[in-house]
Amino acid sequence: MNPIITAFANGIKKSGVELSNMVLVSDIPFEPEIIKELGVDFFHITRGRAIAFGTGLKLGNPDLKIVAFIGDLMTLGGNHLVHSGRRNMEMLVICVNNFVYREIAGTPAPSVSPGFSAFSTFEKPFNAPHLANSCGAVFTARWTALHTNDLTNSIANALDKRGFSVIEVLSPGPNFYKDINQIDSELLDFYYKNSVTKNNEDTRNVEITPGEKIITGEFTDKEKPTFIDTYNAQLSKILGDKFIPHGGQSGGD
C-alpha cells in the first residue's frame, strides 16, 4: 500500500488540485498518520460503497475533488462502478487490486486470475480497465505498485481530468496470501518483471492471463460532459430561467 500512497501524494503535487478541496473515500482503513501527512479529508466507510458515498459528497458540494480508494471495486462496489461510469460522475477511482480479500485468508476476489488462490480459482476474472472503459470512464490506466513514476503521472493526469477515471494498481497481497500460495516476497518483483507497458492499448486486450505478460499503461483518455454538465444542460433546457444551475467548476452558481 505504501508505494501507492507515495505515488498518490506525488500525483496530487504534480496536478494542480487544491489539497483542501480533496476528499478521500475508502473502504480500506488508512493509517491516521498517512492522512495527517497527506493533509486531506478522509472517510472510511462500508465495503464497496466508496463511489456512492463520493457521489453524495460531489453533489452536496461540487467544488470537492473526490478520490475513491477501493479494494472491493468489482464485487460489492460493482454496480456503483458501472453506473458512475455511465453518468460520468466526476471522481478518480483507484482500485487497489491484490487479488484477495485482505482479512479473509485465501479468498479469491473477482479480479483474481486462475491459479492464484487457495484452491486455484477457476472463475474468469474481470478485466478492470476494460470494464471501466465500457461503462464510460474517461480515463483508465493500470500499473503495478512498483511503477511509481508512471503511477504518479497517471494519478496527476486523472486528477486533472473532468469525469470518471479509474486506475487499477496491482499490489502485492498480504501475508495470508503468501502463506497459502507459497508465493514468496518476490511477488512484486514478479509483477514488475512480467509486465509490459502499452499505452493507448485497446482495453479488450489487457486481460491478466497467467503465463502471459501483464499489460500496464494508460489505456483510455477521452473527453465527455460530466454528470453535473449534463444535469445543468438538461434542466436549463426544460426549466429555463427558473432553474438554478448546480454550482462548482461545472455550473457556476
Partner 1 sequence: MKANPRDVNTGTYYMDGDVAAGHGALAAGCRFIGGYPITPSTEAAETFARIAPKAGAVFIQMEDELGSIASVMGASWSGVKTMTITSGPGYSLMMEIIGLGAMIEAPFVILNIQRGGPSTGVPTKTGQADMMQSRWGSHGDYEIIAISPDSPQELFDYTIKAFNLSEKYRCPVMIMSDECVGHMSEKVVIPPAEEIEIEPRRFYNGPKEKYLPFKPDQDLVPKMVKAGDGYNLYITGLVHDERGYPITNQKEKGKRQQFPTRRLVDKIRLNADKIIELNEEGMDDAEVVVVSYGISYRVAIRGIEKAREKGIKVGNLRLITVWPFPDKKITELASKVKAFVVPEINYGQIVFEVERCSHGQANVVLIPHGGAGVHNPDDIAEAIEYAVKEKKKIRKVIEWKTRLEKFVFEGGYKLNK
Binds partner 1 (CB under 8 A): choice among 1, 4, 9, 57: 57
Angle at CA of residue 126, ends 122 and 129, nearest 5°: 155
Q: Which three cell numbers stand for residue 207?
A: 486481460
Q: Which is nearer to partner 1, 123 or 253 (CB)?
A: 253
Residues 193-232: x where in contact with partner 1 by CB under 8 A, - otherwise, as a string: --------------------------------------x-
Min dist CB 103 to partner 1, Å, is 13
Residue 63 interacts with partner 1 (CB under 8 A)? yes
Binds partner 1 (CB under 8 A): choice among 3, 10, 14, 59: 59
Q: Which is nearer to partner 1, 72 or 201 (CB)?
A: 72
Residues 9-28: x where in contact with partner 1 by CB under 8 A, - otherwise, as a string: -----------xxxx-x---
Min dist CB 248 to partner 1, Å, is 11
Burial 93-107 (b: 16+ CB within 10 A, else e): bbbbbbbbbbeeeeb
Please name which of 230, 128, 115 lies closest in space to residue 183, comparing C-alpha atoms.
Answer: 115
Binds partner 1 (CB under 8 A): choice among 4, 15, 17, 53: 53
Q: Which is nearer to partner 1, 196 or 244 (CB)?
A: 244
Residue 52 interacts with partner 1 (CB under 8 A)? yes
CB-CB neighbours of 208 under 10 Å: 23
* Spatial distance between the Cα atoms of 130 and 117, rounded to a whole number of angstroms: 23
Count of residues that bind partner 1 according to CB under 8 A: 43
* Spatial distance between the Cα atoms of 127 and 115, rounded to a whole number of angstroms: 16
Min dist CB 57 to partner 1, Å, is 4
Residue 99 interacts with partner 1 (CB under 8 A)? no
Angle at CA of residue 170, ends 122 and 94, nearest 5°: 115
Instruction: State the pairing for strand pair 139-144/65-70.
Output: unpaired
Task: Determine contact, residues 88/164, Cβ cutoff 8 Å.
Answer: yes
Instruction: State the pairing for strand pair 22-26/65-70.
Output: parallel
Binds partner 1 (CB under 8 A): choice among 7, 12, 15, 55: 55
Residues 133-152: x where in contact with partner 1 by CB under 8 A, - otherwise, as a string: --------------------
Residue 49 interacts with partner 1 (CB under 8 A)? yes
Q: Which is nearer to partner 1, 182 or 237 (CB)?
A: 237
Residue 39 DSSP symbol: T
Residue 161 interacts with partner 1 (CB under 8 A)? no
* Spatial distance between the Cα atoms of 197 and 66, rounded to a whole number of angstroms: 27
* Spatial distance between the Cα atoms of 1 and 11, rounded to a whole number of angstroms: 15
